[in-house]
Amino acid sequence: MSTYFWTGTPLYAWTFPQDVARAGSYELLIEGVCIPLMTMESITGKVTFLEKWGTGPANSTGAYELDLSLAPNRNTAWREMNVKTDIFCSSGLILPDKAGRQLTVGGWSGDSTYGVRLYTPDGSPGVNGTNDWEENVNQLSLQDGRWYPTTMVMANGSIFVIGGEEGSNGAAVPTIEVLPYTGRAPLFMDWLERTDPNNLYPFCAVLPSENIFVAYWNEARILDKTTFETLTILPTIPGTVNNPMGGRTYPLEGTGVLLPQKAPYTAPLDCDNSLKNGGAPAVDGCNMLCNGNITEYCGGPDRLNLYNYKEVVDVSSKVTTTPEPTGTASVIETVLPTSTITPTGPSHPETVGPYSWVGCRTEATGARALGAKELANDQMTLETCQTFCTGFKYFGTEYGRECFCGNTFAAGSQTAPESDCSMRCSGSPQQYCGAGNRLSVYMLDEGEVASAISTSTSTSARPVATGYPSGWSEQGCWVDGAGGRILTYQAPDDNALTLQKCAKNCFGSDPQDGVNPQEYRVEVFNPPYLTSGRPRPTFTLANRDWDYDESITFTLGGAPVNGDISVTLLGGVSSTHGNSMGTRTILPSVSCSGLACTVTAPPDAGICPPGWFQFFVLDGGIPAVGVYVRIGGDPAELGNWPDKSSFSPPGL
């Protein structure tokens, strides 16, 4: 192996503007009323907040609407709403019906996992609405209960629902279903079952072909838009330089977004099953070396190196491509994973360093089984946990990404079947790292234990602590209680901890310690284009319900002063766990003559699935206040769904 070292400016040495005009600024917008797990901006410009039950004030209803025009007046800006089941780890969408209804599906447990909840936004800025969330699991529900599913509006306007588990840390739900109900049972996908539990909240997107891209764990594929059969299995998503198995989807906490699509929507890095828009062979121009491999060519300006994939590979197939003969040619060979590959199974190694495998155990009653020290890491391995717990008699891993240390087990912890500890380590899928409420436990050799105890109890001078953070005073040395820690909140492990850092972690925000107050607040970031002092444009737009490829006129409120006029369309979003379902950025073509401008709507549902989009006019990159427009109508007639007494569909 050849090793190279970077000798330039360290890659972690970030530079950024320090002044507000160029860096932007954060500010407190308003005091909050809950800890929002899911947020959605409605087409009225208001924002809905949904919380996990039990995380807010004792009298919380679990749902609220924020009128931004009334901020920061806490008494008038917030409207109390209601949901009937727990939305924890559900998914959401803004529907393409004429009312722009908000949808959430799935949830925490029981009926929540089957929940289908709908809210029709009403009111206007400064004027309260009266509508509330509608839900009745006996009239409308998912066919399969789901925790951590993904939802997406397909090109035909129907709702694609994929994946999840049977409630908190339950069995996999490796199926796809469609809303509204079509009479078809959920379709089983073996690749979802095989990659559970590392495939939750799969990343999904409609492609220009109208087929469906799905990324899950470290794999990705393209599904037929009608049958959901696999059309193409894509190469494994790379992890780190020393671990090609790194995943992205929950619980690995990655995010996925589409890059902006710009008219005429023919930019490089395209994949499709047919050639479109008049593309033709080029005599030359594919002369740009690939950034990741200078022995290969990756197209050129307005040029694609095009490859044809003959068929979906079988279990032993490989795709072999050869660069064009100009330059240095080398054969690149990539093994593509398929749904029928059976990888080497994960295991519990007999030893990890000086520790030996003990078995699978449950958590204690009302406390951690091993409560001396803990660590959470999205690249967790048994070796990582063993190193972290050096000197303790036991270490245990749980839920794929959590590590716990201790010298004894707390009351109530019991031996469990080894098969219960079946969750793969987030940083090493060939190892098991416990499961929900289950610890994969290793024990230090007795001789090592004695050595560790001797070392830890040796006498040494106690450092004299000085300079306590303002407002704090030393209360002496305390021992944890028999039932667990006397201070239950723990900040992330820090190898460079100081008293100042500890005090900062324990002050305000989200302490959940029963002593310090919970801070409920909503903050906003003001980007540099709003703090630069340059004027924002204004405009008027009459048509807010667009057909595909339609020419739409709008009028500027004044001549441009910052630069060229452009338009950006941002898809309506439901945001949770770092995922933004519905996100899509489109840069359509626009032309102006004086103050009169024309924008061309996206050409079809492959480029722009039906839905609501924020319409922004920009003057030299400075945006006006946006408005919502609907593109593509309601082809699935969601406006008439559901025809049930507990719901109020808006019609077509």
Complete DSSP assignment for 114-131: HBEEEE---SBTTB----
To the nearest whole percent, how much of the chain has pLDDT over 90? 58
Residue 427 lies in a domain: yes
Q: Is 168 exposed, middle or buried (0-12, 13-18, 19+ CB in 10 A)?
A: middle
Structure tokens at 74: 């806490």
Co-location of 538 and 623 in the same domain: yes
pLDDT per residue as tens digits for the range 127-162? 999 999 999 999 999 999 999 999 999 999 999 999
> How many domains is the chain partitioned into structurally?
3
Residue 4: pLDDT band by 50, 70, 90 thresholds?
confident
Most confident of 6-20, 227-241, 287-301, 593-607: 593-607
Instruction: Confirm if 215 and 248 have CB atoms less than 8 A apart.
Output: yes
**What are residue 611's DSSP bridge partners?**
631
Q: For position 535, what pLDDT does the model report? A: 95
8-state DSSP, 639: G
Q: Does the pLDDT at position 192 exceed 50?
A: yes
Instruction: Confirm if 169 and 436 have CB atoms less than 8 A apart.
Output: yes
Co-location of 434 and 497 in the same domain: no
Q: Residue 578's domain is classified under what CATH number?
A: 2.60.40.10
CA pair distance 519, 358, nearest whole angstrom = 42
Q: Which residue has the tokens 């270490």?
A: 395
Q: For position 649, what pLDDT does the model report? A: 98
Q: Which residue has the tokens 């360290």?
A: 10
Q: Is 188 exposed, middle or buried (0-12, 13-18, 19+ CB in 10 A)?
A: exposed
Co-location of 501 and 569 in the same domain: no
Instruction: Confirm if 360 and 417 have CB atoms less than 8 A apart.
Output: yes
Q: Does the pLDDT at position 601 exceed 80?
A: yes
Chain-centroid distance of CA 378 in Å reads 14
> Three-state DSSP class for 77?
helix
pLDDT per residue as tens digits for the range 197-213? 999 999 999 999 999 99
Q: For position 325, what pLDDT does the model report? A: 30
Closest among 434, 366, 377 to 401, alpha carbons compared:
377
Q: For position 149, what pLDDT does the model report? A: 98
Q: For position 269, what pLDDT does the model report? A: 43
DSSP labels for 368-428?
A: -SS-SEEEE-TT--HHHHHHHTTTSSEEEEETTTEEEEESSPPTT--EE-GGG--PEETTE
Co-location of 512 and 573 in the same domain: no
Co-location of 510 and 596 in the same domain: no
Phi and psi dihedrals of 586, rounded to 5?
A: -125, 130
Q: For position 331, what pLDDT does the model report? A: 29
Q: Does the pLDDT at position 489 exceed 90?
A: no
Q: Which residue has the tokens 């024990």?
A: 443
Structure tokens at 336: 């593509």
Q: For position 11, what pLDDT does the model report? A: 76
Q: For position 295, what pLDDT does the model report? A: 44
Co-location of 374 and 443 in the same domain: yes
CA pair distance 362, 281, nearest whole angstrom = 63
Q: Does the pLDDT at position 651 exceed 70?
A: yes
Q: Which residue has the higher pLDDT, 364 or 2?
A: 364
Co-location of 584 and 537 in the same domain: yes
Co-location of 624 and 565 in the same domain: yes
Q: Which residue has the higher pLDDT, 120 or 4?
A: 120
Residue 620 lies in a domain: yes
Query: Considering only 383-397, 461-475, 595-609, which range has the smallest mean pLDDT?
Result: 461-475
Q: Does the pLDDT at position 54 exceed 50?
A: yes
Co-location of 550 and 629 in the same domain: yes
Q: CB under 8 Å to 128, separation ≥6 — which residues?
A: 67, 79
First to last CA, the chain: 64
Rounded average pLDDT over 541-566: 97
Co-location of 624 and 596 in the same domain: yes
Residue 399 lies in a domain: yes
Q: For position 512, what pLDDT does the model report? A: 60
Co-location of 553 and 629 in the same domain: yes
Residue 378 lies in a domain: yes
pLDDT per residue as tens digits for the range 306-318? 655 333 333 222 3
Q: Which long-range contacts (CB under 8 A, 24 or more apart) does 169-178 make?
A: 169/197, 169/399, 169/435, 169/436, 169/437, 172/196, 172/197, 173/144, 173/145, 173/146, 173/147, 173/149, 175/144, 176/228, 177/142, 177/143, 177/144, 178/154
Residue type, 55: T
Q: For position 581, what pLDDT does the model report? A: 96
Structure tokens at 237: 């998503």
Maximum pairwise Cα distance, the chain: 85
124: region left, alpha or beta (phi > 0 left; psi from -120 to 50 alpha): beta
27: region left, alpha or beta (phi > 0 left; psi from -120 to 50 alpha): beta
Chain-centroid distance of CA 291 in Å reads 27
pLDDT per residue as tens digits for the range 604-619? 999 999 999 999 999 9
Q: For position 323, what pLDDT does the model report? A: 28
369: region left, alpha or beta (phi > 0 left; psi from -120 to 50 alpha): alpha
pLDDT per residue as tens digits for the range 389-431? 988 999 999 988 899 999 999 999 999 999 889 888 888 888 9
Q: Does the pLDDT at position 452 exceed 70?
A: no
Query: Considering only 464-468, 545-549, 625-629, which range has the smallest mean pLDDT?
Result: 464-468
Residue 627 lies in a domain: yes
Give the per-residue SS3 of 25-76: EEEEEEECCCCEEEEEECCCCCEEEEECCCCCCCCCCEEEEECHHHCCCHHH
pLDDT per residue as tens digits for the range 332-371? 233 333 333 333 468 899 999 899 999 999 998 878 899 8
Phi and psi dihedrals of 641, rounded to 5?
A: -115, 140
Q: Which residue has the higher pLDDT, 269 or 27?
A: 27
Q: Which residue has the higher pLDDT, 29 or 7?
A: 29
Rounded average pLDDT over 623-637: 98
Q: Does the pLDDT at position 464 exceed 50?
A: no
Q: Does the pLDDT at position 276 exceed 90?
A: no
Q: Does the pLDDT at position 530 exceed 60?
A: yes
* β pairing state of 596-600 and 551-556: antiparallel
Instruction: Confirm if 228 and 188 have CB atoms less than 8 A apart.
Output: no
Which CA distances in Å does 488 have to 262, 408, 503, 514, 643? Answer: 50, 18, 15, 9, 48
Phi and psi dihedrals of 117, rounded to 5?
A: -115, 140
Residue 424 lies in a domain: yes
Cis peptide before 202 (omega within 30 of 0): no
Residue 110 lies in a domain: no
Q: Is 454 exposed, middle or buried (0-12, 13-18, 19+ CB in 10 A)?
A: exposed
To the nearest whole percent, how much of the chain has pLDDT over 70? 76
Q: For position 398, what pLDDT does the model report? A: 93
Q: Which residue has the higher pLDDT, 80 or 320?
A: 80
Residue 585 lies in a domain: yes
Q: Which residue has the tokens 């946006």?
A: 626
Residue 327: pLDDT band by 50, 70, 90 thresholds?
very low
Most confident of 177-191, 254-268, 440-454: 177-191
Average pLDDT of the chain is 83
Closest among 515, 518, 509 to 475, alpha carbons compared:
515
Q: CB under 8 Å to 316, separation ≥6 — which residues?
A: none
Instruction: Confirm if 298 and 234 have CB atoms less than 8 A apart.
Output: no
- Percentage helix, strand, coil for the chain under 3-state DSSP, each rounded to 5: 10, 30, 60
Rounded average pLDDT over 510-526: 77
Structure tokens at 326: 């100009």
* β pairing state of 47-51 and 545-546: unpaired
Query: Considering only 70-84, 240-254, 399-413, 572-586, which range has the smallest mean pLDDT?
Result: 240-254
CA pair distance 276, 279, nearest whole angstrom = 6
* β pairing state of 585-587 and 261-262: parallel
Range of the domain at 446: 351-456
Co-location of 443 and 507 in the same domain: no
Structure tokens at 43: 């087409």
Instruction: Confirm if 85 and 112 have CB atoms less than 8 A apart.
Output: yes
Q: Which residue has the tokens 């830890």?
A: 456
CA pair distance 348, 420, nearest whole angstrom = 12
DSSP labels for 171-192?
A: -B--EEEEES--S-PPEE-HHH
